[in-house]
Amino acid sequence: MLAIDLGTGGPKTAFVTVDGDVLGHELVPVATTLLPGGGAVQDPDAWWDAIRGSARRLVEAGTVRPDDVVGVTCTGQWGSTVPVGPDGTAVGPCLLWMDARGGRYSPAVLGGKGPVEVEGYGPTKALRFIRVSGGAPALAGNDPLGHILYLRNEEPDIYRAASVFLEPVDYLGLRFTGRVVATPASMILSWLIDIRDLSRPAYSPDLLRLTTRDADKLPELVPTGSVAGGLAADVAAELGLPAGIPVVTGVPDLLSATTGSGALDDYELHMAISTTSWLSCHVPFKKTDPFRQMATVPGVRPGRYLVANNHDTAGICLEWFRDAMFAPVPGGEPAAPPPSYAALDEVVEATEPGSGGVLFAPWLGGERCPVDDRTLRGSFLNVSLSTTRDHMLRALFEGVALNARWMQDAVEHFLKRPTGPIRFIGGGASSDVWCQIHADVMERPVHQVAQPLLANVRGAALYAALALEKTDLAGAAAASTVARVFEPRPENGALYRELYEHFHNLYRQQRHMYAALNRPGGPFDRSEGR
């Protein structure tokens, strides 16, 4: 399989066997441009150029024999919007899942007409969304509805030029095949799909009217796991592959991560820590918890749903800390290269659990689950004159884990049962010390999946292999092996339970301060170029 994982940091292109062996891969970074007013965009042409170049280089290096390639598929970021013109190319940048410029328009569409609202939504509107699609668009505007409203109101030239708005995985599918299609999986965060009957994908006319979306700018819906078409001849020639190879419709990274983690049974948990973080499992029911920002979405297994939730900032906290703490001083001596993540692991391993009492709140970009509050910000607390940089680094590792424990509590409330062992994937899972900290804080065994950084691209290939009947669920589950199991250490239990009690109270104690400091138009508002 030629599999692409389009993360926020750029596309990872790989050739993967139908048994899950990654034969070769390449990651090409793609820059994110942050704009005034909460904008965050990327260039879709940069994705496509990177993917074509990587795939061609892997073929030319002899990673695979071209005739052995039996399928193409994509996974990656979701809740992003690519405006596409009639010729199948982007007519503007992709508005990323973090682009919240539509936040000034979404409340007018989603709010109530009278004085009664539920968490900012009109009560009847919220119920109509939840009943049909399992969730609702974000009032903050950082999702496809907000993106569309922003373009319609503030960039009308792009809006008019677009014949269709696509999620990134569907845009890549179009570039590979020339066909415009989407699936209930790729369109989850449009909240326009009726998911009550997963065998018959359809847009809801009622929700289309409610969101004021233009139906003629929506892609054709096909079942998740369908073959979108054959690899176009011109693309195949450029990549050095045979034309006509089946291209399987792309899926969000939640679905590929589930497959790549091997956690395919009901209630079998996996956790991802990359830029963002989530904790998910298959369940046999459709459910929504609007107060904890959690819902179920169509899953990998037929007739099953996946728990969907998200922390906006997890692994990126470590990237931020490393870049901030080791940045050169203006006018000073040139800085040495920042330490490797392996070196930082060694520092954390050598620092005592509890970080000298320092707590880190990892809400650098606000929070989604179990509270949806875009005004929250990160902080180090209980810092003293004896606090060292090593304490702060370990506190960061522990703070991300404490935040995961907060989400774990919400998941257990959602499932109405305690959680079990957790399969761990993503960049964070490549750190043994972070795996152990999560096991200690969450008080659950953490199963570190082998090659955790490749779990999503492996999962995408396995998902396509399932769709093309090149493997089955048992084979897909067996393809993702566990490298190491981290058991909770009893000697750290009481310490982390006390830290979690204080961490859990931080939001309640400080949310009004954050709301005041980060209010729109306030002195610390960095929108509109302030």
**Are 228 and 363 in the same domain?**
no
Residue 282 lies inside a defined structural domain of this protein:
no
Q: Which residues, in sequence order, are CB contacts of 108 under 8 Å at separation 6+?
A: none
Q: Is residue 529 part of a domain?
A: no
Cis status of the peptide bond prior to 370, with omega within 30 of 0: yes
Q: What is the pLDDT of residue 529?
A: 38
Q: Report residue 487: phi and psi, to 5°.
A: -90, 145
Of 225, 249, 273, the residue that ends a domain is 249
Phi, psi of 143, deg, nearest 5: -165, 175
Name, in order, each residue with C-beta under 8 angstroms of 376's C-beta and a sequence gap of 6 or more.
Answer: 361, 363, 366, 367, 507, 511, 514
Within 133-215, strands assigned E span 164-166, 181-182
Structural domain includes residue 526: no
Q: Are residues 35 and 168 in the same domain?
A: yes
Q: Residues 144, 83: contact at Cβ < 8 Å?
A: no
- The structure tokens 């903050």 sit at 140
CATH code (residue 362): 3.30.420.40
How far apart are the C-alpha atoms of 180 and 168, rounded to whole Å?
12
Q: What is the 8-class DSSP label of residue 498?
A: H
Q: Please tell me whether residues 232 and 355 are part of one structural domain.
A: no
What's the full length of the chain, in residues?
530
Residues 238 and 342 in one domain: no
Cα distance between residue 461 and residue 19, in whole Å: 9
For 378, 433, 484, the CA distances from 344, given in Å and listed in that order, are 20, 10, 20
Quote the CA–CA distance of 526 and 530 in Å, as a whole number.
5
Choosing from 249, 269, 295, the residue where a domain stops is 249
Residue 291 lies in a domain: no
| Residues 202 and 344 reside in one and the same domain | no
> Are 315 and 271 spatial neighbours (Cβ–Cβ below 8 Å)?
no
Does a structural domain hold residue 413?
yes
Q: Are residues 161 and 20 part of one domain?
A: yes
Task: From 178, 181, 172, 175, select the one nearest 218 (Cα to Cα).
Answer: 181
Q: What is the pLDDT of residue 530?
A: 34
Q: Which residues contact 530 (CB under 8 A, 6 or more apart)?
A: none
Q: Which amino acid is at 154?
A: E
Residue at a domain's end among 202, 227, 249: 249
- Please give the pLDDT value at position 116: 64
**Same domain, yes or no: 98 and 230:** yes
Contact 232, 129 (CB under 8 A): no
501 and 378 in a common domain: yes
Question: Which parts of the chain sit beneath pLDDT 50?
Answer: 527-530
Structural domain including 190 reads 2-249
Structure tokens at 11: 């596309």
The β-bridge partners of 485 are 447
Q: Which long-range contacts (CB under 8 A, 24 or more apart) does 470-474 make?
A: 470/18, 470/70, 470/71, 471/18, 471/19, 473/264, 473/301
Assess if residue 292 is contained within a domain: no
Inside any domain, residue 475: no
Residue 348 sits in the same domain as residue 218: no
Q: Are residues 342 and 224 in the same domain?
A: no
Q: What pLDDT was estimated at residue 467? A: 95
Number of structural domains found in the chain: 2
Residue 349 falls inside a structural domain: yes
Q: Which pLDDT score, from 0 to 100, does residue 135 have?
A: 87
